[in-house]
Amino acid sequence: MFIIIPVIIVGIGLGVFIFFLLKAILLPRRISSIAHLISQERYNQAIKMAKAIAERDPRNSEAHYLLGLAYLKTGRPELALMELKMVGRIGVFTEYCPEIQYRETIAELYKSFNQPEEALKEYLLLLKRYPEMPDYYYKCGQLFEMRNQSDRAFIYYRKAIELNPRYADAHFRLGALLYRMHKYPEARSELETALRYDPDILPAYYYLGKIYREAKEYHAALLSFEKSVRHPDYKLRSLIERGTCYLNMGDYESAIMELERAVKLSPEATNPEMLYARYFLSIAYEKRRRIEDALEQWEFIYRINPSFQDVGEKLAQYQDVHHDDRIKDFLTCNENLFLEICKSIIQAMNLAVTTIKPIPNGAEIIAVDVETKWRNTRKLPRLVRIYRTTEMIDEATVRATHEAMREQNLVRGVIVASAPFSKLAREYAETRPIDLHDKNVLQKLLQRIDMDSGVLKV
């Protein structure tokens, strides 16, 4: 009896020893097997084995870490983050759960789930351990940007470049940051440096193009946007920028081509960028007298956002286009037909054309009275300017007409316009020998004209 008890105790102790011995031998082999399965992309098997170990031993950091990696590889980042958080709570790092890779991985997961504060904590911990790693400063700079802390992001990008002067991505991020801070010369220097070290950073060309456009270096801007348009995230923006460059250069056909490409990327899209693409396209259409096309864009924008820019005003200005075909033809016809219509307007006013030439948004005519044309008395020519626009005629336009009269020694002037005159414009004309005829008068004159040929009806 007394001999049996010690034997039992020894047996139990030996069993416990053998259990832990086998665990110490077999468990590492199973962990290494999971790592091997992951390296062979056999993720489902790896998940099954890692889950089994984690369920039997919840504080096994290696099992949770490898399970998280397998989840990540199979497109389940939420589950991966949950497992990696468990690793952080356990706080034990080993060969199969290395601290550096763990913190880098969980930081990127936090970043992807828009948790920059948590991601930043991980990278700052890594920086304490490895203060000479430029990548960690760069990552911190990105995260400070996500938190709208540009001043701190600036410091960390600078430190990354200090540690690695050839760090192209850091130069790019710093250049983009400087651009948003309106420090264009410094931004340009950083962006050009980034591209010198890595010409494939296409977004850098986008910001360079913006800087060139701000400086009105449109040809250089167009070349930059031509390169950035190849990046899928910057394609729409680059096409819009190319369109606005051509608008500023007065090349409206090229602007239309680029902006139509932008709209065709997603014809039903209603995001702000696409609304701007349509708005700039409408301006180009308007400049080319394609009023119906412009109206189509304004109406689309108005349905989405009635307060967008001056779209509501544009629709109000051009409302006659829908109701009066003569005004529509007057506003939209080509230049040759427009000049013929202007000659007929002069005839309808009982005047005779001496000279006619196009001016921006209209025509300038020197005309004389018909009834005095064949008399021996001296004919008194007058300056007539005819404007086709929907924007109110301001005092500056009337003043410019008066200056042109004085330069040409003409004592009388007339302005005919398809738009109303401002109060100041009318007040200015009241004390000068200039007659103002607005849209109402123009409509009556157009009724006497064949709009297809521009010829005055008999």
Residues 372 and 423 in one domain: yes
Angstrom distance (rounded) from CA 352 to CA 368: 5
Residue 318 near residue 390 (C-beta atoms within 8 A)? yes
% of the chain with per-residue pLDDT over 90: 77
Residues 6+ apart with CB under 8 A from 50: 34, 63, 64, 66, 67, 70
Please check whether residue 255 lies inside any domain of the structure.
Answer: yes
Out of 317, 347, 381, a domain closes at 317
Instruction: Give the DSSP per-residue string, 130-152.
Output: -TT-HHHHHHHHHHHHHTT-HHH
Residue 3: which pLDDT band, with cuts at 50, 70 and 90?
low
Residue-level pLDDT at 453: 72
Tell me the average pLDDT across 124-150.
95
What is the per-residue pLDDT for 32?
Answer: 87
Give yes or no: residues 291 and 336 share one domain.
no
51 domain-assigned: no
Residue, of 1 and 33, whose pLDDT is higher = 33
Q: Which of 317, 342, 361 is the last residue of a domain?
A: 317
Same domain assignment for residues 361 and 388: yes
pLDDT at 370: 80
453 versus 201: the higher-pLDDT residue is 201
pLDDT at position 16? 45
Among 263, 297, 317, where does a domain finish? 317
Structural domain includes residue 424: yes
Q: Given its phi and psi angles, is residue 41 left (phi above 0), alpha (psi -120 to 50 degrees) or beta?
A: left
Query: Quick check: 228 and 202 in contact, CB under 8 A?
Result: yes
pLDDT-derived band at 90 (thresholds 50, 70, 90) equals very high
Note whether 369 and 449 are same-domain residues. yes
**Pair (382, 333) in one structural domain:** yes
Number of DSSP helices (H) and strands (E) in the chain, helices first: 23, 7
What percentage of the chain reaches a pLDDT higher than 70?
Answer: 91
pLDDT computed for residue 375 by the predictor: 57
Residue 399, phi-psi category: left (phi > 0), alpha (psi -120 to 50), beta (remainder): alpha
Q: What CATH number corresponds to the domain at position 414?
A: 3.40.1350.10
Same domain, 253 and 282: yes
Is residue 341 located within the same domain as residue 374?
yes
| Any domain includes 47 | no
For residues 376 and 275, membership in a common domain is answered with: no
Q: Is 382 helix (H, G, I), strand (E, B) or coil?
A: strand
**Residues 70, 41: Cα–Cα separation, whole Å:** 9
Q: Is the pLDDT of residue 17 over 50?
A: no
Whether 405 and 367 have beta carbons less than 8 Å apart is answered as: no
Domain count, the chain: 2
CATH number of the domain at 293, please: 1.25.40.10
Amino acid 25: pLDDT: 43
Residue 278, number of CB atoms within 10 A of its CB: 24
| pLDDT attached to residue 12 | 57
Domain, as residue range, for 359: 329-456
Looking at every residue in the chain, the average pLDDT score rounds to 90
In a domain, 162, yes or no: no
pLDDT tens track for 149-178: 999 999 999 999 999 999 999 999 999 999
- Winning range, highest mean pLDDT, from 13-22, 45-54, 186-195, 284-293: 186-195
The answer to whether residues 433 and 413 touch, using CB atoms and an 8 Å cutoff, is: yes
Which candidate, 30, 67, 36, 62, places its Cα nearest to that of 51? 67
